[in-house]
Structure 1
Amino acid sequence: MSEPSAEEIAVAEARREPVHPQPPTPRDNGKKPRSNLTLRLFTAAILIPPLLYVIYQGGPWVLGTVLIITMIGLAEFYDMIEAKGADPLRTFGMTAAAALQVVAYLGSEYLATLLLSVVLLGVMVAQLGKARIADALASISGTFFGVFYVGWLLSHAIVLRNFDQQVAARFGADAAIGIDPRVGFFYLFFTIVVVIGGDVGAYFAGRAYGKRKLAPRISPNKTVEGALGAVAAGIFFGLGLKAFFDAQAPHLSSGFGYGFGLVLCVVLSIVGLLGDLVESLLKRDAKVKDSGGLLPGMGGVLDRIDSNLLAIPVMYYLLLASTFVSRSIPG
């Protein structure tokens, strides 16, 4: 059956007669168009091996990689708020975000937090030098929030990778005795695996069982069933990774047991989902589908790190709290 012409459609609508479109050809077999899942998997397969290498090597490798991700992610964020009419101080914000990474690498997240306070003052002073007075509030808040959201949060990837150094700095050199210098590799890898595993679980559970909307005004495709799938998958992948390391490299994974590991998996899965929703809220407000188009099938860099932006700091502070508690208990 041939495709009806525009005139035939108009006549049929006028007569209230059904118009029969051309049936599916053998090529598409009536199936829905394929999603970009294959493209996403292909992109992930290219990115994951070098990322693992960088995390394992640590040191300047991690600093350089985090700097690159920060610059691209922050540029995408500023693109989004510019779409809303804001005029962020791009150069100042990106320089400040880069400085946060360097300070976190050379010192600690505590020093990075102090620098963040200085950045806020600097943004306000820098705004005074701009010729454009209109929308000054949006410019100041947008510039600073970008530094905080992308720069400061992501700087925790550096201190988490250098967790042994952070323990020594906070609790004394004796507290770090016996801690393998590469333990941060496992902690950062564990966080990323739980978050990505949760993302995969949410995708398939949502497609198979999703009925109840989780946050329809923010992200219409997310469901309660998908969120439960994220937690279940996060637990599966997280504890599975720990079991693998316990068998192959126990000196890296012995920092916490399976009980605390279960708690971490649940918390990181939920926090990762919240991080995804936060970025969805920002994109919906900016009326954009993706933060960028750098990664085929995945969108922008910010689209890929949104969940980890919240999960990595939470992992870091939970581990610090656990270390503090364990040292406070006598014996």
Structure 2
Amino acid sequence: MLGWRLAISAILIPSIVLLFFLDAHLGTPAPVLFLLCVFLCLRSTYEMIDLMRERSFAPHWRLTALCGVAVIVAAWGPRMVGLERNTLIVLGVVAMTYAMCVLLLFFAAAMRYREPGRSVDTLGAEILTVSYAGFLLGLTAQLRWVVGTDAGYIVLGSLLVTAKSGDVGAFFVGRLFGRRKMAPLLSPGKTWAGAVGALLGGAVGAWAWLTYATPWLYPEAEPTPWYWSALYGVLIGIVGLIGDLCESMVKRDMGKKDSANLLPGFGGLLDLLDSVLYSGPVALVLWVVLPLATWR
């Protein structure tokens, strides 16, 4: 299992770095990141709907995927046509698009209604899928622009590195010292020692990224002070751990161990993105309220 994780990581990490490098050189609209997010949304929607079908739910794949992609497009639309660079206004467009999608899903559920017992459950599954695979992803993508377009991949990279460093810290510390289970009904492998490892891993990952990647990616900027980096890492480590547990709740409630069999050692795409998607909106807030950006 560990060998598969290392092998997959050795392929995924350079691939993501290459995509980000290409996208950074294509300018503010970030077309490569847009296409990546559309793919992630579609694949995550497929996995979520497949999970939901293990129960009595019957979510409509095409309509749900269309709504998820609409939210991603709303996160890009104003920026791609050069009309708006204010993140708060873009977030308003994303929120309004999400609201319209919820109304559409309600209407479609009413039109499909045939008998009591399934409609509300299916509607809830569709709204949850759009929220998770579309809305959270659209908000997370705003890290690309939140404190300046030139430093977008410092910010976006900080979330990926910190969240995954927390996952790695939880895995290794939990393996070495884990005894007391944290949530045995949701995730039997998680321990309180692993939770401490997630906080330490997040703090170290955030500090290392913001200290060494900042001058490399943006030579005009100074590294973020270590104490702010560590605080950011601890907070993302906590939220990422909660995100992992929440995704486990969905899988356990559907009677599944993994969201899919896409990546050996990891499971599905949702298993890979759980801590990142859940942490994304929190990271967006932290980059606004904490003095992490030395280039302002």
TM-score normalized with structure 2 length? 0.87
Deviation of 1:229 after TM superposition, in Å, equals 0.7
- What does 1:144-293 align with in structure 2 at a 5 Å threshold? 144-164=127-147, 179=148, 181-251=149-219, 254=222, 256-293=224-261
CA displacement 1:51-84 (0-9 Å, x = unmatched): 1122332411000001101100111001111101
- Say yes or no: does 1:119 pair with 2:101: yes
Instruction: Give the aligned partner of residue 61 of structure 2.
Output: 90
Corresponding letter in the other structure for 2:119: A
Structure 1: unaligned runs, 5 residues or longer: 1-35, 165-178, 327-331
Instruction: Give the aligned partner of residue 129 of structure 1.
Output: 111
- What does 1:50-61 align with in structure 2 at a 5 Å threshold? 50-56=15-21, 57-58=23-24, 59-61=30-32
- Say yes or no: does 1:77 pair with 2:54: no
Q: Is 118-127 or 129-138 further displaced after alignment?
A: 129-138
Q: Is 122-131 or 67-76 further displaced after alignment?
A: 122-131
CA displacement 1:126-149 (0-9 Å, x = unmatched): 112215433111011110111001
Q: Distance in 1 between matches of 2:182 and 2:96?
A: 37
Deviation of 1:235 after TM superposition, in Å, equals 1.1
- Say yes or no: does 1:49 pair with 2:14: yes
Contact 1:163–1:183 (8 Å) recurs in 2 = no
Contact 1:183–1:252 (8 Å) recurs in 2 = no
Instruction: Give the aligned partner of residue 100 of structure 1.
Output: 71
CA displacement 1:210-269 (0-9 Å, x = unmatched): 011111121111000000011111111210122212453454764843232221101000
Corresponding letter in the other structure for 1:75: Y
Q: Distance in 2 between matches of 1:271 and 1:199?
A: 11
Change (3 A) 1:255 1:216: same
Deviation of 1:209 after TM superposition, in Å, equals 0.4
Contact 1:291–1:301 (8 Å) recurs in 2 = yes
TM-score normalized with structure 1 length? 0.78
Q: Distance in 2 between matches of 1:127 and 1:247?
A: 52
Corresponding letter in the other structure for 1:41: L
Corresponding letter in the other structure for 1:148: S
Instruction: Give the aligned partner of residue 10 of structure 1.
Output: none
Q: Distance in 1 between matches of 2:184 and 2:218?
A: 43
Alignment coverage as a number of residue pairs: 274
Q: What SS does the corresponding residue of 2:241 show, helix, strand or coil? A: helix
Q: Is 51-60 or 147-156 further displaced after alignment?
A: 51-60
Corresponding letter in the other structure for 1:302: L
Contact 2:215–2:223 (8 Å) recurs in 1 = no
Contact 1:124–1:140 (8 Å) recurs in 2 = yes
Structure 2: unaligned runs, 5 residues or longer: 25-29, 79-89
Q: Distance in 2 between matches of 1:265 and 1:160?
A: 16
Q: Is 235-244 or 64-73 further displaced after alignment?
A: 235-244
Q: Distance in 2 between matches of 1:231 and 1:219?
A: 18
Contact 1:218–1:277 (8 Å) recurs in 2 = yes
Q: Distance in 2 between matches of 1:130 and 1:109?
A: 31
Q: Distance in 1 between matches of 2:230 and 2:92?
A: 28
Q: What SS does the corresponding residue of 1:163 show, helix, strand or coil? A: coil
**Aligned-pair Cα RMSD in Å:** 1.8
Instruction: Give the aligned partner of residue 83 of structure 2.
Output: none
Q: What SS does the corresponding residue of 2:202 show, helix, strand or coil? A: helix
Change (3 A) 1:249 1:69: closer
Q: Distance in 2 between matches of 1:101 and 1:109?
A: 11
Quote the sequence identity (%): 29
Q: What SS does the corresponding residue of 1:65 show, helix, strand or coil? A: helix
Instruction: Give the aligned partner of residue 271 of structure 2.
Output: 303
